[in-house]
């Protein structure tokens, strides 16, 4: 081979190597910090925000609602509906796989759609038409497709006690030990091929570098490093999230005293001393959810009540480490004012997560955030009725009202029932609204297809990002 040709080939090889090295050197890991991580990943837990964040990457609902009005599906080869008689036909794409052992088969789809349709309405009848499946209800069911867009109803198969796999672009490869690792099924050259979620408290203790983090939006705004505002793109947003004092005391009289005698303004400032502004809300619903009201909750801290309960006590679980002085001062003043002692138990989010969703819980009161993945009410009260919610005792009167919601599909009537439940929670004194979260969200500037739309800011679909 002529010498000049060898030099050309060598130069081309070197250029190709440098090009491939440059692509590979781009960090393809999307690193997320989260206040806490779940022990289980399943669509049935989609109402928990960090679980929903993961499901957005690993699962795919049967339908998507594009632009708020047009339905599309990535899981069906074709579909049809008859609005007049309440029937639907779905033809699954059986080439899809949950994993190598489990295809999205006709048999699996039939079982899935049967369960989901009857969960929506017990009148559902399912018939097989050569690999396509007809779902027929007793009458028109206009909200069924919207029901199928919810991640709670996404197709899923259990692969371990800890998690289920879906049909999304990422699969769960590891969960536990303070981290969750998601791997892309089909790697790309100009996007993220791995998502790693770290528990924030363990990350800090391990001395992890903030410069490796892509998403700081799962930790409190005041904990985001100052340099992020200069290096990342920012978006202001009022979230569908309310900060609340959850009251888990079995004695309703003490719950009522806590609800009425905890000064909202002073307590929230003591709990979050570095936060400057708070947007006040009257009930558990943040603004943007039907039934929400601005302003402070109505409270009555009467002397007869305080005298009757003097000498009582309750435990408050504090999961922050920057507010010990302020909370101690608040507790001392609360005791002077009411005669009821507020015992502060300091713990990490990780320690609390171990017992947060099972009785008996190690607290009578705790600050927790309730949020919604949709602008609807149910996400803000179901945690008070589930055994894996936040309370050690049942609320039969509230549960009775909830039965109306289970069978009601008309939007306005559902909203009215939701408002009734919010009033019942107030009467039971199990949740004192503190504020609605407003925050700035940050994303790396090198993402060239950022599209800030409904549901994006808090719960991005990382598979779509490109640089």
Interior/surface letters 225-246, b for 16+ CB within 10 angstroms, e for the rest: eeebeeebeeeebebbbbbbbb
pLDDT at 10 over 50: no
Tokens in use for 57? 């990457």
Q: Which two tokens stand for residue 128?
A: 């097989």
Q: Are 456 and 182 spatial neighbours (Cβ–Cβ below 8 Å)?
A: no
Q: DSSP per residue over 365-428, as a string? A: EEEEEEE-SSS-SGGGTGGGTSTTSS-SS--HHHHHHHHHHHH---HHHHHHHHHHHHHHHHHH
Predicted pLDDT at 448:
87
Q: Within a domain: residue 324?
A: yes
Helix, strand, coil % in the chain, rounded to nearest 5: 35, 25, 40
DSSP-derived 3-state class of residue 464: helix
In angstroms, the CA 249 to CA 309 distance is 13
Q: Report the CATH number that the domain containing residue 124 is assigned in CATH.
A: 3.90.76.10
Q: Find the helix or strand (DSSP H, E) in which 136 lies.
A: strand 132-136
The residue behind tokens 């001062």 is: 329
Contact yes or no for 103/94 (Cβ under 8 A)? yes
Is residue 76 a part of any domain in this protein? yes
In a domain, 127, yes or no: yes
Q: What is the pLDDT of residue 407?
A: 65
What's the pLDDT score for residue 305? 85
Distance of alpha carbon 299 from the chain centroid: 30
Domain stop point among 91, 125, 149: 149
Is the model's pLDDT at 454 over the cut of 80? no
**409: containing domain:** 238-439
Once rounded to an integer, what is the mean pLDDT over residues 160-167? 94
Residue 193 to residues 176, 209, 285, 448: CA-CA distances in angstroms? 20, 20, 37, 17
- pLDDT of amino acid 17: 36
Q: Provide the number of structural domains found in the chain.
A: 2
Domain assignment of residue 446, yes or no: no
Between CA 389 and CA 383 the distance in angstroms is 4
DSSP 423-436: HHHHHHT-EEEEEE
Residue at a domain's end among 85, 115, 149: 149
Mean pLDDT, the chain, as a whole number? 88
**DSSP summary character for residue 297:** P
Written as six digits, the tokens of 92 are 């699954």
Q: What is the pLDDT of residues 257-266, one digit of tens each?
A: 999 999 999 9
- In whole angstroms, give the CA distance from residue 462 to residue 225: 22
Could you count the other beta carbons within 10 Å of the beta carbon of residue 26? Answer: 12
pLDDT tens, 181-202?
999 999 999 999 999 999 998 8
426 in the same domain as 326: yes
CATH number of the domain enclosing 322: 3.10.105.10
Domain boundary among 125, 149, 173: 149
> Residue 439 in 3-state DSSP?
strand
pLDDT class of 409 with cuts at 50, 70, 90? low
The answer as to whether 14 is a domain residue is: no
pLDDT of residue 237: 81
Residue 9 within a domain:
no
Tell me: the pLDDT tens digits for 142-151? 889 989 999 9
Residue 173 has pLDDT above 90, yes or no: yes
408: helix, coil or strand?
coil
Same domain for 324 and 429, yes or no, is yes
pLDDT digits (tens, 9 = 90+) for 72-90: 999 999 999 998 888 999 9
**Is residue 316 within 8 Å of residue 335, measured between CB atoms?**
no
Answer yes or no: is 451 within a domain: no
Sign of CA dihedral 119, 122, 128, 133: negative
Contact 365, 334 (CB under 8 A): no
Same domain (yes/no): 418, 291? yes
Judge whether residue 287 has pLDDT over 90. no
Q: How many whole angstroms separate alpha carbon 264 and alpha carbon 305?
A: 19
> Is pLDDT at 406 greater than 70 in this prediction?
no
d(CA 174, CA 385): 30
Instruction: Give the Cα separation of 110 and 215 in Å (integer).
Output: 38
How confident is the model at residue 7, as a pLDDT?
42
For residues 142 and 249, state if they share a domain: no
- The answer for 173, left when phi > 0, alpha when psi is -120 to 50, beta otherwise, is alpha
pLDDT digits (tens, 9 = 90+) for 11-37: 434 434 333 333 444 579 999 999 889
Q: Is residue 248 part of a domain?
A: yes
d(CA 379, CA 290): 12
Give the global pTM.
0.76
Measured between alpha carbons, how far is 465 from 457 in angstroms, rounded to an integer? 13
How does pLDDT run across 124-147, given as a tens digit for each residue?
999 998 899 999 998 888 889 989
pLDDT confidence band for 376 (50 / 70 / 90): low
């Amino acid at each position: 081979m002529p010498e000049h040709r060898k030099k050309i080939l060598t130069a081309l090889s070197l250029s190709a190597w440098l090009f491939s090295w440059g692509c590979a050197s781009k960090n393809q890991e999307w690193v997320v910090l989260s206040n806490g991580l779940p022990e289980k990943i399943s669509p049935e837990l989609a109402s928990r925000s960090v679980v929903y964040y993961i499901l957005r990457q690993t699962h795919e609902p049967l339908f998507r609602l594009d632009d708020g009005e047009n339905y599309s599906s990535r899981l069906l080869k074709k579909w049809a509906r008859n609005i007049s008689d309440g029937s639907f036909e779905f033809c699954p794409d059986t080439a899809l796989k949950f994993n190598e052992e489990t295809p999205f088969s006709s048999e699996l789809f039939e079982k899935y759609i049967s369960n989901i349709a009857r969960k929506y309405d017990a009148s559902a009848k399912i018939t097989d038409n050569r690999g396509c499946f007809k779902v027929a209800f007793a009458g028109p069911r206009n909200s069924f497709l919207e029901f199928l867009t919810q991640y709670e109803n996404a197709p899923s198969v259990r692969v371990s006690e800890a998690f289920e796999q879906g049909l999304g672009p990422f699969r769960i490869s590891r969960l536990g030990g303070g981290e969750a690792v998601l791997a892309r099924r089909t790697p790309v050259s100009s996007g993220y091929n791995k998502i790693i979620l770290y528990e924030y408290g363990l990350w800090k203790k391990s001395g992890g570098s903030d410069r490796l983090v892509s998403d700081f939006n799962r930790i409190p705004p005041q904990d985001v490093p100052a340099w992020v505002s200069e290096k990342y793109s920012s978006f202001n947003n009022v979230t569908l999230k309310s900060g609340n004092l959850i009251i888990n005391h079995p004695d309703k009289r003490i719950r009522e005293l806590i609800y009425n005698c905890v000064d909202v303004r002073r307590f929230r400032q003591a709990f979050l001393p570095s936060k400057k502004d708070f947007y006040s809300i009257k009930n558990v619903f943040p603004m943007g959810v039907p039934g929400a009201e601005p302003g402070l909750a109505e409270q009555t801290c009467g002397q007869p009540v305080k005298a009757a309960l003097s000498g009582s006590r309750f435990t408050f679980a504090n999961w922050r480490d920057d507010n010990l002085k302020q909370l101690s001062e608040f507790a001392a003043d609360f005791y002077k004012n009411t005669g009821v002692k507020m015992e502060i138990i300091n713990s990490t989010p990780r320690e609390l997560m171990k017992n947060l969703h099972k009785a008996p819980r190690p607290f009578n009161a705790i600050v927790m955030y309730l949020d919604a993945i949709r602008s609807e009410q149910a996400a803000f009260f179901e945690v008070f009725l589930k055994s894996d919610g936040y309370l050690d005792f049942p609320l039969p009167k509230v549960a009775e009202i909830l039965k109306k919601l289970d069978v009601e599909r008309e939007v306005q009537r559902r909203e009215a029932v939701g408002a009734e439940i919010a009033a019942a929670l107030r009467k039971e004194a199990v949740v004192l609204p503190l504020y609605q979260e407003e925050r700035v969200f940050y994303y790396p500037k090198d993402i060239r297809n950022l599209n800030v739309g409904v549901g994006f800011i808090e719960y991005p679909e990382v598979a779509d990002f490109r640089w």
